[in-house]
Structure 1
């Protein structure tokens, strides 16, 4: 179904956590701990906690939410405000790459769950960190 001008809703900063919680309900307790410690405004810190949560699920063999998380990140890239699009890349994707690769886990494993746009940003992060590019961009 195509969105019409009257039905289209750009995803804003306030929408991010509800969408992530819908994609991965087991993150709720970790999110509530984050809110107690930091409030609701430090979403880049929450992105690190989210990456650690996903890695914990993977290590336990629970991959059930990874497809829906990948779909949520794709929505952020396609339907998000400029802030949300940047957060999807620098907050979520980079957080997953960093947390997973520093915990002796294959940081590339998560990429199989990404949509086309998110995969382009994932690869851009890789070329940045390899030194092939001086900034993250498409």
Structure 2
């Protein structure tokens, strides 16, 4: 069963500057049989990275406090949404910026920090495993692709999916 809308709304409510994007998402999701929460969390991750780049972090304390509270709920779907949909996307998107993901650590609570570190450990294991594999084809060059992308939506998708090395 997917994460509950009320839990997602608790996160979104802490970020007034993201309300327009949230309303657009809600309107679009009316057409869907089930809400695509990972898309909205990915959008929120991009929003947060951009806000950090603009030195506009006033919403961060409330947002990450909400995330911390929700991570203590016994709901594996919600935990996965926060882990993969939000925190991993923040790490991935921020890896394409000069400041990287480390600045976000200061807003993480104890449980969020554990999850954050688990994501990093998993990504390291994947990277180590991939480095040992015999290449079957030319590897996808993320930086080359991003340098050629003109569509901002496509750029966001690539940044969310691939971490800069």
- Deviation, 1:14, is 1.6
Q: Which residue of 2 aligns with 1:15?
A: 6
Q: State whether structure 2 residue 80 is matched by structure 1 residue 89.
A: no
Aligned residue among 20, 37, 49 for 1:29 = 20
Q: State whether structure 2 residue 103 is matched by structure 1 residue 112.
A: no
> 2:89 and 2:60 mapped to 1: Cα distance?
15
Any gaps of 5 or more consecutive residues in structure 1?
A: 1-11
Per-residue deviation, residues 56-104 of structure 1 (Å, max 9, x unmatched): 2112211101111111111121025221111111111111111111234
Q: Which has the larger radius of gyration?
A: 2
Between stretches 110-119 and 76-85, larger displacement belongs to 76-85
* Structure 1 vs Structure 2 CA RMSD: 2.1
- TM-score normalised over the length of structure 2: 0.67
Aligned residue among 39, 49, 60 for 2:43 = 49
| Shift in CA distance, 26/85, structure 1 to aligned 2, threshold 3 Å | same
Aligned length: 123
| Shift in CA distance, 76/126, structure 1 to aligned 2, threshold 3 Å | same
- TM-score normalised over the length of structure 1: 0.78
3-state SS of the aligned residue for 2:56? coil
